[in-house]
Amino acid sequence: MNFWFRRSLIFTMAILSAVAVFSFDGRLAAQTPWPPGPPITGNDQRNSLNLVKGQVQWLQNSTRTASNYGAGGYDLVRSQFEKLRGAYGAFRRTLSPRQLDFGANDLAELDAGLDIIQEAFMVFENDVANGRSYSSALRSMCQVLGQAAPIWLKELNQVSTRLRVGFP
């Protein structure tokens, strides 16, 4: 009986292997892809843009109050800047392919602007590492960020107008 069981098992595996080989069409899929999300509307773009503007205001507020938090002031400002970057990334994801193509250079300049603003954090870290007092370095960094953020926001507003954000 063991002989017949093994023979039928081998026969079944051979049939399943043949079916698998002959039905393989060359495509492999690990998972079923997610269905596309809902289409982006003008309201989505406006809301996302308003979130970025709000994050710029939060960043500016944190630069004004950072000295009140002592050693935690740097972390507060850094956190608000990272939230600004995240909000800006989410805003970019709401732009249509046409808007992204049309505004590629402007959007690259906005990205570069954030990179330049971020350098203020490295300057702070270098200043503290080189012996400058924490409060003095923090004050300088906050002054730079407080002046740079509205300039970046002004450019964002101009780019958003050119890209007709809110009218995808």
- Residue 29 identity: A
pLDDT in tens, 72-124: 999 999 999 999 999 999 999 999 999 999 999 999 999 999 999 999 999 99
Encoded tokens for 50: 């308003």
pLDDT in tens, 20-56: 555 555 555 555 565 666 678 889 999 999 999 999 9
pLDDT, residue 62, reads: 96
**The domain spanning residue 125 has which CATH number?**
1.20.120.1730
Task: Please list, in sequence order, all residues whose beta carbon lies within 8 angstroms of the beta carbon of residue 79, skipping any fewer than 6 positions away.
Answer: 62
Residue 84 lies in a domain: yes
Number of domains in the chain: 1
pLDDT for residue 137 is more than 90? yes
Q: Can you tell me the distance from the alpha carbon of 49 to that of 54, in angstroms, rounded to the nearest whole number?
A: 9
Residue 4 lies in a domain: no
Contacts 24+ apart (CB under 8 A), 44-49: 44/94, 45/91, 45/94, 45/95, 45/165, 45/166, 45/168, 46/165, 46/166, 48/87, 48/90, 48/91, 48/94, 49/91, 49/156, 49/160, 49/165, 49/166
pLDDT, residue 167, reads: 81
Residue 83 lies in a domain: yes
Q: Can you tell me the distance from the alpha carbon of 139 to that of 133, in angstroms, rounded to the nearest whole number?
A: 10
pLDDT, residue 2, reads: 58
pLDDT, residue 85, reads: 97
pLDDT for residue 19 is more than 70? no
Encoded tokens for 167: 């009218």
**Where in the sequence is the domain holding 81, given as residue range(s)?**
42-160
Residue 24 lies in a domain: no
pTM score, whole prediction: 0.75
